[in-house]
Structure 1
Amino acid sequence: MFTVLGLSRFQFAMTTIFHFFYVPMTIGLALAVAIMETTYVVTKKDVYKKMTMFWSKIFLLSFAVGVVTGIIQEFQFGMNWSNYSRFMGDIFGAPLAIEALLAFFLESTFIGVWMFTWNRFKPAVHAVFIWLTFLGSSMSAIWILAANSFMQHPVGFEINQTTGHVRLRNFGDVMFNPQLWIEFPHVFFAAVCTGAFVVMGCSAFSLLRMHMGNKDQAVAAVEADSEKQAKVNLFTKSIRLAALLGLIGSICVITYGDLQGKYIVTDQPMKLAATEGIYEDTGDPAPWNAVALINEKDHKIEGSVEIPGAMSQLAYGKKTGAVKGMNTVNKELHEKYDAKYGKDMNYYVPVTTLFWVFRLMVAIGFAFALISALVLWFTRKKKNTLFTTRWKLWIMGIFTFAPFAATTSGWLVTELGRYPWLVYGYQTIADGVSPTSTVPNLLFTCIVYFLLFLVLGGVMVFYTRRTLHQGPFYKPDDGNGPQPAKVHGAPARVALA
């Protein structure tokens, strides 16, 4: 661990994971807020404007922290991975430059215009600004993932015989990399789920704060207070919108995740075998290891619970088909690369980690679909029982944090499953490290970055919590102390039992 390679990997993982908390959250919240404002434009109902302005506060916090952490992450390429930057700069530089000059500028420009022009444009025009912000965020993901997809599946390049570095030959091949157009939809819809469950969970916590005493007391308190009725109405509408987005997003995440699994059967067979705990070649049809005891030292499975034939269905979409085990794939990689990298190269990936984080990611994805469907049912107009059932609100509140566990798990599967490669088949992780990095420097920067992330995370949590406590009708201090804003118009009735 305390080597230049180990600390460089740890630092990059730490910065990327923390940054990736906010990227999906920003994209997902931008979509949710854009839909809220568009609904306000169409229906002219003030509640949707209140929803837009309230959730935009958390969206803007996420955007700000995401920008800061993104800048820190980009430093990594020059600080700790300069050999990688030299080797792949011709490929990696183009998408990153376009992302900064086009997508990020679009996003950052229109988020500023949108923030400060609520009363300067017609509602329909103002809504266009948040959609352009959302478009910029989504385009940023495309360009970043184009570079990452090249690392997973290199295309459209040639090796410069003078420098030994990769040189861009066909930009179209890079942008139409089949890996990209399976990976991007999976990441995008994961972002939709993240935004949806942040809205849903925060709304649930806000409703829980209104539960003073038992169910009957809570209902009586709401029915006696028009502002509380308006809050329940606003958060219930937020929850229903989030549940709809969560249901659509989770179904699409599962679909594209399945396509990714089928794609890596031939493209990255070691990754597939590791996520499924397969050391030896399976029979035909192939069984699926639901759970397994993994012995990484001896490269074998000590025991497992198998579902007959399920792996063939997952890998090939049919009832037949054998799957290569890691031991076979390892032999094939040695035969292919020993002349270049030597016989001592280890091609086995961190199997135990990949096996379990993959199952965590999949379990959360299916839980998203189930919870979203149930929430839509529990908040139906004829019988809305959500507010009066505390355990339902608690489950939704706890699942505020589930998207971050799922996206982190997905990142670990994607990146650890590529070990030992930085650029698959062309550059190893060890070859990409900066030759000038030292252990003391890396330890110092790891500590500094960790403390910085701790502060940024604390700021994000503090201001998000304060925003939720102030509520959607909070009015800033006017000199006479903070006062709740007046609720204009009669609030829509919400069934409380």
Structure 2
Amino acid sequence: MIDMTVVELSRLQFALTAMYHFLFVPLTLGLSFLMAIMESVYVMTGRDVWRRMTLFWGVLFGINFAMGVATGIVMEFQFGMNWAYYSHYVGDIFGAPLAIEGLMAFFLEATFIGLFFFGWHRLSKVQHLVITWLVALGANFSALWILVANGWMQNPVGAVFNPDTMRMEITDFMAVIFNPVAQAKFVHTVSAGYVTGAIFVMSVSAFYLLRGRHRDIARRSIAVAASFGLASALCVVVLGDESGYAATEHQKMKLAAIEAMWHTEAAPAGFTVIGLPDQAGQHNRFEVKIPWLMGLIATRSLDGEIPGILELVERAEHRIRGGQLAYAALKRLREDRTDTAARAAFDAHWSDLGHALLLKRYREDILAASEAEISQAALDTVPRVAPLFWTFRIMAGIGFYLIAFFAYAFWRTTRHRVEHGRRFLWIALWSLPLPWIAIECGWFVAEYGRQPWAVEGVLPTFYAASGIALKDILISLGGFVVIYTGLAIVAAKLMLKAIGKGPDVLAPPAGDGAPAAVDDRVPDREGLPLLAADDLDPTPAARG
């Protein structure tokens, strides 16, 4: 029988390393584009302050990038260590996007990041700007291929099970790339990364303004981050709606669990704003609903039906029985590959084979499963509802708060009142952790909501784990906790040290530390300088 303790510890280890790694990814995505925008302004205006801004945020980007690489490489080793059968079963499909990510995206980003830091005095302004944009594009291409791989786990298209090799094999690589779940996840995830970068820039800049330091860089940084963050936050909500629509089509159980929708409602279904899901009793207590809203969001229609959890359990039981037919045909094919009747039966039911594998948790011979075991296996397709219900609402609540925050910040920048509201600056400073909380909640919803599947409808999580000893997983888990705690301390100290030094040390003015030019910025209506006169002057003389 399968040791579920080993499976759960393997899941815990991968979750810890993945969620820790993703502390760095979104900031890398956001800062890369903000750096490119800032350097574009520098090339267009010739103002040295924009070069210093690009260099300063580039140093913080570099620290974050290095930590992301160090933590990301470890994750891939776990596929062979803790998830060996997963690697064997679906490695032909899952491995292809990871290989392309390493060869095409990661090398692009890693190569040009060196030129970004050491090419300032060796390349022309335009050449260096191209390098910076290539760094940003490389970071986003890297995210694309990782999310293509993850999207396939959520919606396994373009592949079939080969009874001759006993593995899933790819049949349509373009279908894998343009998987609607993968594409929706990509645009939603990178937009969240842009929001994270914008909040980070605004928070650090607010810290400087509260201390009265580096005001020229801080004000400009807030102005760029406010507009970039507002656009990105709006995209997160719109593209998150697209992710929800994709879940309606391809991950119905996840959507039903997120909404704690136990029974199928008449279309259009209502949206549960708040409530206390009771999984044992299969109902919600103290729920508050908005009529029609969920149906409109999830189906984009007035007559589209969203199936409830209990109906989906009945469908899963039907698929388990179909999977038993596929399993029986597969056994016959293993004995005689020329058995045409068995191959025809397998081809008709192979898509349900994964559901039959859910029975492996209860008995080795799944063809001899009892009715009670089939019912229990069908019930296992329901993830724990309460954590998904509340985590999604925390994520959504933070998302709407960030839209309001960036809208207010954008209004203040247009009114030239960034420095005059200390309350606003404190809010910006204390909002720093919110994007990370929302992103980690989003990944929890995406991955925990897929359970009990490693690959949706194809491979149960417990069946994908390696058959390693309990002591081995405990040793590796403990080692990862110690190492990653150390890396977290190092990363925090490096970032805080760089922020403490500030732009004047990390990115001195042109001329090897020569004093800055006289402040010729245009004063705002209260008499405080905001923008330089030639920041807005496109003439060649001004750019010089």
Check if 1:360 corresponds to 2:343: no
Partner of 2:487 in structure 1? 456
Cα deviation, 1:245-302, whole Å, max 9, x if unaligned, reads: 1111111111111111122113111111111111111233321110011112222212
Aligned residue for 1:418, secondary structure, equals: coil
CA distance in 2 between partners of 1:182 and 1:388 (Å) = 40
CA distance in 2 between partners of 1:373 and 1:199 (Å) = 16
Identity %: 37
CA distance in 1 between partners of 2:455 and 2:499 (Å) = 44
Question: Aligned match of 2:221 in 220, 238, 247?
Answer: 238
CA distance in 1 between partners of 2:120 and 2:267 (Å) = 62
Farther-moved stretch of structure 1 (65-74 vs 266-275)? 266-275
Check if 1:492 corresponds to 2:521: yes
Partner of 2:330 in structure 1? none
Per the alignment, do residues 492 and 462 of structure 1 end up closer, same or farther by CA in structure 2, a change over 3 Å counting? farther
| One-letter amino acid matched to 1:415 | E
Aligned residue for 1:3, secondary structure, equals: helix
- On the 8 A contact 2:382/2:451 being kept in 1, the answer is yes
Partner of 2:295 in structure 1? 312
CA distance in 2 between partners of 1:195 and 1:319 (Å) = 38
- On the 8 A contact 1:290/1:305 being kept in 2, the answer is yes
Partner of 1:445 in structure 2? 476
Per the alignment, do residues 42 and 476 of structure 1 end up closer, same or farther by CA in structure 2, a change over 3 Å counting? closer
Check if 1:403 corresponds to 2:432: no
Deviation at 1:476, TM superposition (A): 9.7
Partner of 2:453 in structure 1? 421
Per the alignment, do residues 248 and 160 of structure 1 end up closer, same or farther by CA in structure 2, a change over 3 Å counting? same
CA distance in 1 between partners of 2:99 and 2:417 (Å) = 50
Farther-moved stretch of structure 1 (464-473 vs 123-132)? 464-473
CA distance in 2 between partners of 1:173 and 1:99 (Å) = 17
Question: Aligned match of 1:337 in 299, 312, 320?
Answer: 320
* Root-mean-square deviation (Å): 1.9
Question: Aligned match of 1:80 in 75, 79, 82?
Answer: 82
Partner of 1:220 in structure 2? none
| One-letter amino acid matched to 1:428 | P
Aligned residue for 2:451, secondary structure, equals: coil
- On the 8 A contact 1:473/1:486 being kept in 2, the answer is no
Deviation at 1:386, TM superposition (A): 2.6
Aligned residue for 1:473, secondary structure, equals: helix
CA distance in 1 between partners of 2:489 and 2:190 (Å) = 26
Partner of 2:9 in structure 1? 7
Q: Which has more radius of gyration?
A: 2
- On the 8 A contact 2:26/2:193 being kept in 1, the answer is yes
CA distance in 1 between partners of 2:308 and 2:252 (Å) = 8
CA distance in 1 between partners of 2:249 and 2:189 (Å) = 21
| One-letter amino acid matched to 1:309 | W
Question: How many aligned residue pairs are there?
Answer: 470
Moved over 3 A (4+): 318-322, 493-497
CA distance in 2 between partners of 1:252 and 1:162 (Å) = 45
- On the 8 A contact 2:4/2:462 being kept in 1, the answer is no
| One-letter amino acid matched to 1:414 | A
Cα deviation, 1:383-428, whole Å, max 9, x if unaligned, reads: 4333232221111112211111111111111111111111111100
Partner of 1:117 in structure 2? 119
Question: Aligned match of 2:251 in 268, 290, 296?
Answer: 268
1:120-269 aligned within 5 A: 120-210=122-212, 228=213, 231-269=214-252
CA distance in 2 between partners of 1:63 and 1:194 (Å) = 14
CA distance in 2 between partners of 1:485 and 1:355 (Å) = 57
- On the 8 A contact 2:241/2:297 being kept in 1, the answer is yes
- On the 8 A contact 1:24/1:194 being kept in 2, the answer is yes
Deviation at 1:467, TM superposition (A): 1.6
- On the 8 A contact 2:84/2:465 being kept in 1, the answer is yes
Deviation at 1:45, TM superposition (A): 1.1
Partner of 2:416 in structure 1? 384
CA distance in 2 between partners of 1:118 and 1:233 (Å) = 22
Check if 1:469 corresponds to 2:500: yes
Aligned residue for 1:100, secondary structure, equals: helix
- On the 8 A contact 1:474/1:485 being kept in 2, the answer is no
CA distance in 1 between partners of 2:523 and 2:118 (Å) = 33
Partner of 1:214 in structure 2? none
Deviation at 1:333, TM superposition (A): 1.0
Partner of 2:385 in structure 1? 351
Cα deviation, 1:437-487, whole Å, max 9, x if unaligned, reads: 22222122212211222221222221211222222112799xxxxx98732
Question: Aligned match of 1:20 in 5, 19, 22?
Answer: 22
Normalised TM-score (structure 2): 0.83
Cα deviation, 1:224-255, whole Å, max 9, x if unaligned, reads: xxxx5xx2121111011111111111111111
Cα deviation, 1:28-67, whole Å, max 9, x if unaligned, reads: 1111001111110011111111110111111001100000
- On the 8 A contact 2:275/2:285 being kept in 1, the answer is yes
- On the 8 A contact 1:309/1:320 being kept in 2, the answer is no
Deviation at 1:133, TM superposition (A): 1.0
Deviation at 1:494, TM superposition (A): 5.6
Partner of 1:95 in structure 2? 97
- On the 8 A contact 2:56/2:507 being kept in 1, the answer is no
Cα deviation, 1:302-330, whole Å, max 9, x if unaligned, reads: 22011122112111223444421111111
1:28-67 aligned within 5 A: 28-67=30-69
Aligned residue for 1:441, secondary structure, equals: helix
Normalised TM-score (structure 1): 0.91
Farther-moved stretch of structure 1 (80-89 vs 389-398)? 389-398
